[in-house]
Structure 1
Amino acid sequence: MSFTSASFGFDLSNREIAALVYLGLLLAAVLLWKKGRPLAFNVVRVFFMPKLALIWLLMSFYVAACVWLLAWLNLWDWPNLKSTLLWWLTVGFTSIFEAQRLKDKPHVLRKLVRDAFTLSAVILFIAELVSFPLWVELLMLPALVLLALLIAVGEHQTDKPGIPRVLGLLRGLQILAGLAILGFSYWLVATSISEFWSLNTLREFGLPLLLWLMFIPFIFLLAVYMTYEEAFIHLQVRPKQAPIVRYARWRALFAFGWNIDGVKRLARDIRGRDIADKQGVKEAIWEIRRRIKIEKNPPTVMRAEGWSPYAARLFLEEYGLVTDDYHRTQYEWFAHIPSVKLNDKVLADRISYYLTGNERAVTRLRLALDGSNQNDTREAQRAFDERALTLLTKAFDAERATTIYARAHASEPETWIVDGMRVSLNRSDWGDAHLGGYVRNLTIQHPKHQGDNLGV
């Protein structure tokens, strides 16, 4: 039996040939450019750093094991080799970014699974089944890349006059090009359906889906590994905590396993509470596990005590302002989300949300706007007003929220007392009227609050 490139799936389409041509030209340009060569070599050196090289090696072995299992189940054959290698070079080598995202937001694990079953996967597969003549692909590819780059740049310049209209035109061209490609692909497949649909075509369609589903455990384990590395590496440079880092890492491994959130909480508590001995680590782990258990079935908190920490952290959820877990610091119980952008500008205005209190209840709520005078101050104020009114509605009730906010404005910067609760609005400015900025605060303090008097 003779083997050809087609036997391993390497019968390249015109679209793949065009992509290889431009990749080759790009690589040649970088290598021929005197200043570009050192940069390219530095990228290669970083790519093969010992820790990264180990990840790439483990990832490659994992993918090979997945392919072997699929072949054993008769779901993979040699004609699928090209698509497998492409998947390995694209999805596999970007797994570190997915692991980073999963490390920061563990709940996206479900989204990773859902993404594999979206309708877009079917649409893209059919679009890739066929291609235009080579000369069309050679013209189309750089045009589409340029169009995408122009849109990406324009999205960060929306404050300039005329840009939104140009963006609308560019997006319209992008949609039109996409519809043309899809329309041609669907028409060609429909007219030659017996030619395109075969057992190998079904394998080609199912292979990325199966590989992705099998690859998610690797991404998750990589995220766990990265969490442990990042959580404790900062402690190693702190003279007081460095001696207990190894102990804390092993205790965390046995206490939390692959619970990313628990590991991050422990490292934070060691830093924040200045824990410097093994007994302190044990107590911190015990407290974190107890808090995680309580969070699954939160106790009822009477309004006379304050606000439930588990409810208060979600008061502004509709605006993406959900705090981290309510936890003990050296001086108080605390939770916060320190900075959420209001837009995509370089000097974007930011909103923060803070909870303070005791172990059982939150006794102070604070909403803060960190604004720049270079931005639209009225737009930032409207955003702050919306969130402030929502917070007052949660803290008091919907009927009185508007009245309370209006009275707080009238009393600013003095405190206004409602039902024994102290409501305060204040503003502090820095810099000048053009290049400076300001911080705007709304603070709601319960009578049970212990500590500074509306201090920020």
Structure 2
Amino acid sequence: MILNNREIAILFWLAIVLLYAFRKGINKDIAKSFTALIKSFFHIKIQTIIWGGIAWASLCVVLLEEAGIWTLSNLKTTLVWGCTFAFISTMNAHKIAETKGYFREELRGLINATAIITFITEAYSFSILAEIIITPILTLLVIIQVLSEREPRYATLQKISTFMLAFAGLAYIANALYMLANNFSDFASLDNLREFLTPSLLTCFYLLYIYVISIYMTYENLSVGLTYAITEPGLRRFAVFKAAWAFKTNHKALNRWRTNAGIFRPQCKNEVIASIKEVTYQIYREKNPIPITPEQGWQPTKAASFLTEKNLTVEDYHRTHGDEWWGDAHILKIESDRFNLDSITYVMRGTDIAVKRLKLEVTVNNKDLHALPESLFIEIGTELILHSIGHCEIDLQQAIDTDSHVDIITGLRRVRLSRENYTYTKTGGYLRTLIIDYQPNYIGPEDEG
């Protein structure tokens, strides 16, 4: 459990920063926030999950030790792994249900060229003096790069910091390869093989625990989410049981059923069963879509993926009140600067058979910082038109530059582009909307009244 020069340098500077912070005193607001964070950390549910993770990781270590893979010399690596990957993944377990292919990506990243190069680089460090000098410089460069990415006016600074970080990375790799070439016999040892395999194997085992926790959190959120939809406790327990029996560990299906229950609020067991059957049928229909003609509109599964490459995929196209069906993609957030967060949304409306309306909207909070959100809106809007119509007769760039309203019929479809200024903001914010209807005379529920 010997620390290398790089780890000593990191601990050295961390101690200096903490010592300086305590000597200078901590801002009262920061102290209050930090205290609140610590208190929330000791919540019984969080502590249960953390100690469960520690117990599971300890069991995995014992099994690896019995198999002759783990020894006491791997304790440092194990502790670092526990404080980084294990702790962070446990705290973010609630996000796993929303992250597509999370486990596949984690397993894919365990043993690859990057992992091997990183391991070799970390095995060799510079002298202690060099590491003490390099550590704060690299930390400063990383901070500059992160901050400059948010400010278009600092693009040059961002490029310089990126270049310097890349150069430093190459220097670390070159040093490691040089040391490896001169000391390969020492490097190619059973101890180093254990050091390389230990975090990878622990990650594989720990992902099982994270999977279980993510399922538990899904059902916990499901139960809490049904509090207002199904007020009677007995019926709510019945609903959770039937949903678990029907959807088991399918996060997406469980969340879709929760949405359905939240909209229609089943009041008896028969209505609960009917809502579960409806969602089950929706999922079946998505896997086995019914062919439709262009005159009917767009096939829902296909329309939901029109903007997948732009990170605007509709995951849940579902029935709302009446016969209307509706679905929207996760909001695409655009940070124009550190104080303005604009966004783009994609919405589909129609029936269970076909989508009748596609709507793309961009929210701009400051008219003086419109360039980035508008350019993305034009790019995404053009792609939506191409996917939904097959050709684009509208020059969105020209229409937006001239602030023109567009209302044209192209083939079977009707395309409209409009802008609505916000009257309650001093920064000239506005909402720009692109609507594509499957037929020129289509009137949706939002047009009525």
For normalisation by structure 2, the TM-score amounts to 0.89
**Cα distance in 2 for residues equivalent to 1:455 and 1:259:** 37
Q: Are residues 1:122 and 2:113 paired? A: no
Q: Deviations over 1:165-212 (max 9, x none)?
A: 122222222122222222112211221112222101111011111111
Q: CA shift at 1:259, angstroms?
A: 0.8
**Cα distance in 2 for residues equivalent to 1:308 and 1:431:** 38
SS of alignment partner, residue 305 of structure 1: coil
- Tell me: CA distance 1:363–1:225, structure 2 relative to 1, closer, same or farther (3 Å): same
**Cα distance in 1 for residues equivalent to 2:233 and 2:241:** 14
SS of alignment partner, residue 415 of structure 2: strand
Deviates more, 1:188-197 or 1:343-352: 343-352
Question: Do the aligned partners of 1:156 and 1:344 also contact (CA within 8 Å) in 2?
Answer: yes
Q: Are residues 1:290 and 2:290 paired? A: no
Aligned to 1:381: 374
Aligned to 1:111: 105
Q: Are residues 1:424 and 2:445 paired? A: no
**Cα distance in 2 for residues equivalent to 1:330 and 1:63:** 48
Aligned to 1:4: none
- Tell me: CA distance 1:453–1:135, structure 2 relative to 1, closer, same or farther (3 Å): closer
Question: Do the aligned partners of 1:265 and 1:288 also contact (CA within 8 Å) in 2?
Answer: yes
What does 1:195-206 correspond to in 2, within 5 Å? 195-206=186-197
1:96 maps to amino acid: T
Q: Are residues 1:365 and 2:355 paired? A: no
Deviates more, 1:329-338 or 1:270-279: 270-279
Alignment partner of 1:391 out of 379, 384, 392: 384
Q: Are residues 1:340 and 2:332 paired? A: yes
- Tell me: CA distance 1:11–1:422, structure 2 relative to 1, closer, same or farther (3 Å): closer
- Tell me: CA distance 1:428–1:66, structure 2 relative to 1, closer, same or farther (3 Å): same
Deviates more, 1:264-273 or 1:432-441: 432-441
**Cα distance in 1 for residues equivalent to 2:157 and 2:385:** 41
**Cα distance in 1 for residues equivalent to 2:398 and 2:133:** 64
**Cα distance in 1 for residues equivalent to 2:418 and 2:325:** 24
Q: CA shift at 1:59, angstroms?
A: 0.5
Q: Are residues 1:436 and 2:436 paired? A: no
- Tell me: CA distance 1:407–1:165, structure 2 relative to 1, closer, same or farther (3 Å): closer
- Tell me: CA distance 1:32–1:172, structure 2 relative to 1, closer, same or farther (3 Å): same
Question: Do the aligned partners of 1:371 and 1:439 also contact (CA within 8 Å) in 2?
Answer: yes
2:177 maps to amino acid: Y
Question: Do the aligned partners of 1:235 and 1:241 also contact (CA within 8 Å) in 2?
Answer: no
Question: Do the aligned partners of 2:342 and 2:365 also contact (CA within 8 Å) in 1?
Answer: yes
Alignment partner of 1:151 out of 145, 149, 160: 145
Q: CA shift at 1:31, angstroms?
A: 4.7
Q: Are residues 1:207 and 2:201 paired? A: no
Q: Are residues 1:218 and 2:182 paired? A: no
- Tell me: CA distance 1:349–1:375, structure 2 relative to 1, closer, same or farther (3 Å): farther
**Cα distance in 2 for residues equivalent to 1:420 and 1:21:** 69
- Tell me: CA distance 1:30–1:394, structure 2 relative to 1, closer, same or farther (3 Å): same
Aligned to 1:6: none
Q: Deviations over 1:20-72 (max 9, x none)?
A: 23333344445555446665554433322211111111111111121122222
Q: Are residues 1:235 and 2:226 paired? A: yes
- Tell me: CA distance 1:313–1:375, structure 2 relative to 1, closer, same or farther (3 Å): farther
Q: Are residues 1:49 and 2:43 paired? A: yes
Question: Do the aligned partners of 1:408 and 1:424 also contact (CA within 8 Å) in 2?
Answer: no
- Tell me: CA distance 1:251–1:149, structure 2 relative to 1, closer, same or farther (3 Å): same
1:300 maps to amino acid: P
1:320 maps to amino acid: N
Q: CA shift at 1:123, angstroms?
A: 1.1
**Cα distance in 1 for residues equivalent to 2:218 and 2:435:** 34
Aligned to 2:133: 139
SS of alignment partner, residue 402 of structure 1: coil
2:126 maps to amino acid: F
Q: CA shift at 1:12, angstroms?
A: 1.8
Question: Do the aligned partners of 2:336 and 2:373 also contact (CA within 8 Å) in 1?
Answer: no
SS of alignment partner, residue 293 of structure 2: coil
**Runs of 5+ unmatched residues, structure 2:** none
What does 1:263-278 correspond to in 2, within 5 Å? 263-278=254-269
Q: CA shift at 1:449, angstroms?
A: 4.9
**Cα distance in 1 for residues equivalent to 2:122 and 2:410:** 64
- Tell me: CA distance 1:165–1:416, structure 2 relative to 1, closer, same or farther (3 Å): closer
Q: CA shift at 1:314, angstroms?
A: 1.0
For normalisation by structure 1, the TM-score amounts to 0.87
Identity percentage of aligned residues = 28
- Tell me: CA distance 1:201–1:164, structure 2 relative to 1, closer, same or farther (3 Å): same
Question: Do the aligned partners of 2:405 and 2:416 also contact (CA within 8 Å) in 1?
Answer: yes
SS of alignment partner, residue 236 of structure 1: coil
Question: Do the aligned partners of 2:315 and 2:328 also contact (CA within 8 Å) in 1?
Answer: yes
1:384 maps to amino acid: F
**Cα distance in 1 for residues equivalent to 2:137 and 2:32:** 29
Aligned to 2:243: 252
Deviates more, 1:291-300 or 1:339-348: 339-348
Q: Are residues 1:175 and 2:166 paired? A: yes
Aligned to 1:188: 179
Q: CA shift at 1:386, angstroms?
A: 2.8
The CA RMSD measured in Å over matched residues stands at: 2.9
**Cα distance in 2 for residues equivalent to 1:397 and 1:454:** 26
Alignment partner of 1:328 out of 309, 319, 323: 319
**Runs of 5+ unmatched residues, structure 1:** 1-9
Aligned to 1:402: 393
Q: Are residues 1:73 and 2:81 paired? A: no
Aligned to 1:91: 85
SS of alignment partner, residue 348 of structure 1: strand
Question: Do the aligned partners of 1:351 and 1:369 also contact (CA within 8 Å) in 2?
Answer: yes
SS of alignment partner, residue 427 of structure 1: strand
SS of alignment partner, residue 204 of structure 1: helix
SS of alignment partner, residue 341 of structure 2: coil
